[in-house]
Amino acid sequence: MSAPNSEFRAAGTAVEKPKNPYGPNPEDFLSNVSRFQLIESTLREGEQFANAFFDTAKKIEIAKALDDFGVDYIELTSPAASEQSRSDCEAICKLGLKAKILTHIRCHMDDARIAVETGVDGVDVVIGTSSFLRQYSHGKDMNYIAQSAVEVIEFVKSHGIEIRFSSEDSFRSDLVDLLNIYKTVDKIGVNRVGIADTVGGANPRQVYELVRTLKSVVSCDIECHFHNDTGCAIANAYTALEAGATLIDVSVLGIGERNGITSLGGLMARMIAADRDYVLSKYKVHKLRDLENLVADAVQVNVPFNNPITGFCAFTHKAGIHAKAILANPSTYEILNPADFGLTRYIHFANRLTGWNAIKSRVDQLNLHLTDNECKEVTAKIKKLGDVRQLNIDDVDSIIREFHAELSNTPVVRPTQTGEEIETEVSISEPEVKKQKTEENQV
Amino acid sequence: MSAPNSEFRAAGTAVEKPKNPYGPNPEDFLSNVSRFQLIESTLREGEQFANAFFDTAKKIEIAKALDDFGVDYIELTSPAASEQSRSDCEAICKLGLKAKILTHIRCHMDDARIAVETGVDGVDVVIGTSSFLRQYSHGKDMNYIAQSAVEVIEFVKSHGIEIRFSSEDSFRSDLVDLLNIYKTVDKIGVNRVGIADTVGGANPRQVYELVRTLKSVVSCDIECHFHNDTGCAIANAYTALEAGATLIDVSVLGIGERNGITSLGGLMARMIAADRDYVLSKYKVHKLRDLENLVADAVQVNVPFNNPITGFCAFTHKAGIHAKAILANPSTYEILNPADFGLTRYIHFANRLTGWNAIKSRVDQLNLHLTDNECKEVTAKIKKLGDVRQLNIDDVDSIIREFHAELSNTPVVRPTQTGEEIETEVSISEPEVKKQKTEENQV
């Protein structure tokens, strides 16, 4: 949907970049899809993940890796949470990272006084505004909330550092209450206000509406925080940016309370589909896999098999009808380019769903020569065995070699049997793919 | 946002169910959020997952489990894919399941002839309509596509079974081409048309627009199929229903090509947040965990740690400020009720982020008596140890017992040390929670 803009710009130029159907919607005139920022919260929200215990050395290792990746802000656990949390916060502030360091506190002067002494670049203040949290958590009314907010904000501002005010459970808060308090804190000069889907129940169009409404009330930036209980945390983040939010809270692998928040990697996938140039200019996405492995090891989880980008099968193509097109042009079935992430694609041809185009490609790799009809014939043999049991590459290669030998009446040259297990996928390396495709760069 | 509406409605009635802030949007007058149906594709799309090899017995076991769960349709791999695929399709059709059985074929008479002989209740036909697929996959133009579609549809209809026509890569297809062909097939009487985000790049508002537009062109049902490459498959499904789609393609754990499609469990979470009564009336969601374990075992993957509903930490609460409210009323931090799924919630109190409310609850469970101030004091001790290393429940209980003994000058009664590893979370069983909370049923 970037067409109108690029057509306008292209008026004077001969060559035009093809339109990206997943690009920012030109109707969203407040959209920040192409200028979003990340508040990385693995060391705050992520610490609330069931398995997380980061010692000082691990926190520093993670903070440095996040900074190297290019995140805009790193958010740390409240220094009021424990003595070690406080000293770790100070230690990370002293690292001299490019990313700004934030800490996340309750809307309370006790916490604010400790926070401003740590050396952070900014303080993220949060208070529950829904009737649930007002009743069952802190028991305060909106007047009290507004008064505390003003006191804490002015105190933090007087120390010359950034301040964010966020509601908690924003989507179950009274809209008028919400807008009132956001307007109040905007007037006294917060850097940004935050919307939080604390229980993970919001849906994308609801997010769009609330952010658009808030955007008409405040002049400061809008930050959003989405939990993933109902699987919408990445989509909600994208929709918030479309509506005019600027900053998204993320964590590595989405770790956080319960099943977590918007994941850094998932949001990268989403944003690259919309504006690859912007994302690649800011973030070292080829380091995503190392970053995820670092955090996965630290909290003792496996990277989910279906993780965007880094799941083991994210670039594996299996169905026969897919393989043909992927071999001709990877963009037919890939919206992301694995090479951007230092990864490769796989054509999984050793199975009963395989097609003759995939097998023909394997025949070529084996440096054998078969006509298309011969490839179709050997494919039928492979599919027949694939119906009986799981195949591996050895199986397929044996069938192809035997078939080829029968045709040419030469003895089969078999590879040495080593007994080693061989993976059932083969990597199609970049040069091989390039040989076979015609228009790699067409989006 | 519930306040204005519920106050207004409350004027005439004494008792009213509180409005669900995550419920269907009344502006979406074509919404099917409260009458959606599932096309379960673990045995078709799921077979295209890298690790999947289902033998006949496993397919039958999965089909029966899906039927028992309550899915509306079960979609099977094309009988044209292999001989075993064909005979498995016939075998499943003969099981006499409540769910309707579909098979998924290319838009080709060869495939259609085989499909109608298997005994299926319907056939799902698909053809690539994007310029990518037209160029790199089948190489046909839109006229050819329309002609084949009409031929295949009339043939399938003549056998008295259901027929769906779907485009592939719909979001990169020319809108006019798409609407033309959908209009054509609608006129000749397909049961439904399908939209497919084959590369997983679509975003929710884009989905809403396309479904709304299509809804104004056709009179049949609309089915949607979303890949998850950019993490939006669940959100896109929800938004499609808001716009007027009726049927969503899902698979268990979302398994499919690359990192898969909308997951059955994730969509259940999303839909329960919107309309719990409808979902619980139709689907046996308490069997979700068993169903996911069945499929995870069959394809040799772990259920992702952050899976909606069944991830190991989906109902684990850790931060101190969360624990207080959760103990008072679980709805403060939970949009889903773990009991609906036969699961329980956990308050993770053995860590440095713990708060005195969580510890007080543990003190009560140990049948000890401490004042609030004493609880705060012992909490400080626990947090101090939690700063140094990961804690388990034993550690916390020892600190509490020692503290209590010192206060009362009685010797500490220690539990027997068995050397067994004890989990660091404790389950708060339903009766205990009920004692402490005031308004469980308020949404």
Work out the average pLDDT over A336-356.
Answer: 90
Q: How far is B65 from chain A (nearest CA, A)?
A: 22
Number of residues assigned to chain A: 443
Work out the average pLDDT over A244-258.
Answer: 97
The verdict on a CB contact (< 8 Å) between A85 and B352 is yes
A214: helix, coil or strand? helix
CA distance B291 to B254: 12
- Which residues of B fall within a CB distance of 8 Å from A334? 199, 229, 258
Residue in B104, B225, B317, B322 annotated catalytic: B322
Q: For tokens 């269907």, name the residue.
A: B24
The verdict on a CB contact (< 8 Å) between B136 and A324 is yes
- Confidence at residue A2, expressed as pLDDT on a 0 to 100 scale: 37
CA A352 to chain centre: 33
| pLDDT band with cut points at 50, 70 and 90 for residue A363 | very high
CA B416 to chain centre: 43
B371, B347 contact by CB (below 8 A): no
CB contact A338 to B (< 8 Å)? no
CA distance A152 to A144: 12
Q: Taking the CA of residue A116 as centre, how many other CA atoms within 13 Å lie in the half-sphere pointing to its CB?
A: 17
| pLDDT band with cut points at 50, 70 and 90 for residue B429 | very low
Interface test mutation site (partner B, options A306, A347, A390, A427, max chain B beta carbons within 10 A): A306
- B13 or B134: which leads in pLDDT: B134
- Confidence at residue B16, expressed as pLDDT on a 0 to 100 scale: 57
Residue A422 clears pLDDT 60, i.e. is over it: no
% of chain B at pLDDT higher than 90: 69
Q: What's chain B look like in SS3?
A: CCHHHHHHHHCCCCCCCCCCCCCCCCCCCCCCCCCCEEEECCCCHHHHCCCCCCCHHHHHHHHHHHHHHCCCEEEECCCCCCHHHHHHHHHHHCCCCCCEEEEEEECCHHHHHHHHCCCCCEEEEEEECCHHHHHHHHCCCHHHHHHHHHHHHHHHHCCCCEEEEEEECHHHCCHHHHHHHHHHHHHCCCCEEEEEECCCCCCHHHHHHHHHHHHCCCCCEEEEEEECCCCCHHHHHHHHHHHCCCEEEEEHHHCCCCCCECEHHHHHHHHHHHHHHHHHHHCCHHHHHHHHHHHHHHCCCCCCCCCCCCCCCCCEECCHHHHHHHHHCHHHCCCCCHHHHCCCCEECCCCCCCCHHHHHHHHHHCCCCCCHHHHHHHHHHHHHHHHHCCCCHHHHHHHHHHHHHHHHCCCCCCCCCCCCCCCCCEECCHHHHHHHCCCCCCC
Range 36-95 of A in CB contact (< 8 A) with B: 47-51, 53, 77, 81-85
The verdict on a CB contact (< 8 Å) between B136 and A329 is yes
| pLDDT band with cut points at 50, 70 and 90 for residue B184 | very high
| pLDDT band with cut points at 50, 70 and 90 for residue A430 | very low
- Which residues of B fall within a CB distance of 8 Å from A336? 229-230
Q: How far is A220 from chain B (nearest CA, A)?
A: 23
Range 397-416 of A in CB contact (< 8 A) with B: none
Closest alpha carbon within chain A to B18: A172
Residue B425 clears pLDDT 50, i.e. is over it: no
| Predicted TM-score (pTM) of this structure | 0.88
Q: How far is CA A141 from CA A134, A382, B375, in A?
A: 7, 70, 26
The verdict on a CB contact (< 8 Å) between A260 and B82 is no
CB contact A217 to B (< 8 Å)? no
Residue B167 CB neighbour total at 10 angstroms: 26
- Confidence at residue B150, expressed as pLDDT on a 0 to 100 scale: 95
Work out the average pLDDT over B86-100.
Answer: 98
- Confidence at residue A384, expressed as pLDDT on a 0 to 100 scale: 92
CB contact B152 to A (< 8 Å)? no
| pLDDT band with cut points at 50, 70 and 90 for residue B6 | very low
CA distance A91 to A156: 20
A89-116 per-position pLDDT tens digit: 999 999 999 999 999 999 999 999 999 9
CA distance B137 to A298: 44
- Confidence at residue B137, expressed as pLDDT on a 0 to 100 scale: 77
CA distance B92 to B88: 6
The verdict on a CB contact (< 8 Å) between B229 and A306 is no
Q: Is the ipTM of this complex over 0.85?
A: yes
CA distance B152 to B323: 59
A131, A141 contact by CB (below 8 A): no
- A225 or A14: which leads in pLDDT: A225
- B347 or A198: which leads in pLDDT: A198
- Confidence at residue A84, expressed as pLDDT on a 0 to 100 scale: 96
- A238 or A344: which leads in pLDDT: A238
Q: How far is A103 from chain B (nearest CA, A)?
A: 14
Interface test mutation site (partner A, options B258, B299, B384, max chain A beta carbons within 10 A): B258
Q: How far is B72 from chain A (nearest CA, A)?
A: 21
- A11 or A156: which leads in pLDDT: A156
CB contact B335 to A (< 8 Å)? yes
Q: Which residues contact A49 (CB under 8 A, 6 or more apart)?
A: A255, A256, A257, A260, A299, B313, B318
Helix (H) / strand (E) element for A247: namely strand A247-250
- Confidence at residue A393, expressed as pLDDT on a 0 to 100 scale: 87
CB contact A180 to B (< 8 Å)? no
Work out the average pLDDT over B24-50.
Answer: 95
Residue A352 CB neighbour total at 10 angstroms: 23
- A184 or A347: which leads in pLDDT: A184
CB contact A30 to B (< 8 Å)? no
Angle, vertex CA B65, rays to CA B62 and CA B68, nearest 5: 150
B226, B237 contact by CB (below 8 A): yes
The lowest-confidence range among A3-12, B199-208, B318-327 is: A3-12
B341, B309 contact by CB (below 8 A): yes
Residue B384 clears pLDDT 50, i.e. is over it: yes
Max CA distance (Å), chain B: 91
- Which residues of B fall within a CB distance of 8 Å from A322? 48, 257
% of chain A at pLDDT higher than 70: 88
Helix (H) / strand (E) element for A304: namely none
- A5 or B299: which leads in pLDDT: B299
Active site residue B322: yes
Interface test mutation site (partner A, options B56, B78, B333, B438, max chain A beta carbons within 10 A): B333
| pLDDT band with cut points at 50, 70 and 90 for residue A421 | very low
The verdict on a CB contact (< 8 Å) between B235 and A333 is no
The lowest-confidence range among A171-180, A252-261, B11-20, B60-69 is: B11-20
CA distance A287 to A280: 12
Closest alpha carbon within chain B to A426: B50
The verdict on a CB contact (< 8 Å) between B206 and A331 is no
Interface test mutation site (partner B, options A107, A229, A253, A437, max chain B beta carbons within 10 A): A229
The verdict on a CB contact (< 8 Å) between B48 and A314 is no
The verdict on a CB contact (< 8 Å) between B387 and A22 is no
CA distance A110 to A78: 11
Range 413-442 of A in CB contact (< 8 A) with B: 424-425
- Confidence at residue A266, expressed as pLDDT on a 0 to 100 scale: 98
| pLDDT band with cut points at 50, 70 and 90 for residue B393 | confident
CA dihedral B205, B207, B210, B213 (to 10 degrees): -70
| Orientation angle between helical segments A288-298 and A56-69, nearest 10 degrees | 160
Amino acid sitting at position A23: G
The verdict on a CB contact (< 8 Å) between A47 and B386 is no
Average pLDDT score, chain B: 88
CA dihedral B136, B205, B228, B47 (to 10 degrees): -70
Interface test mutation site (partner B, options A333, A395, A426, max chain B beta carbons within 10 A): A333
| pLDDT band with cut points at 50, 70 and 90 for residue A3 | very low
The verdict on a CB contact (< 8 Å) between A81 and B352 is yes
- Which residues of B fall within a CB distance of 8 Å from A258? 313-317, 333-334
The verdict on a CB contact (< 8 Å) between B307 and A304 is yes
Closest alpha carbon within chain B to A425: B50
- Which residues of A fall within a CB distance of 8 Å from B169? 332
CA A115 to chain centre: 29
Nearest to A27 by CA among A242, A292, A263, A310: A242
Q: Which residues of A are catalytic?
A: 322
Residue A438 clears pLDDT 60, i.e. is over it: no
Residue A71 clears pLDDT 60, i.e. is over it: yes
Work out the average pLDDT over B229-237.
Answer: 98
CB contact A361 to B (< 8 Å)? no
| pLDDT band with cut points at 50, 70 and 90 for residue B282 | very high
Work out the average pLDDT over B79-104.
Answer: 97
- Confidence at residue A347, expressed as pLDDT on a 0 to 100 scale: 86
- Confidence at residue B236, expressed as pLDDT on a 0 to 100 scale: 98
- Confidence at residue B365, expressed as pLDDT on a 0 to 100 scale: 87
The full set of domains in chain A, from first to last, is 30-299 (3.20.20.70), 316-408 (1.10.238)
- Which residues of B fall within a CB distance of 8 Å from A325? 128, 132-133, 136-137
Nearest to B231 by CA among A312, A297, A347, A237: A237
Work out the average pLDDT over B297-310.
Answer: 95
B260, A305 contact by CB (below 8 A): no
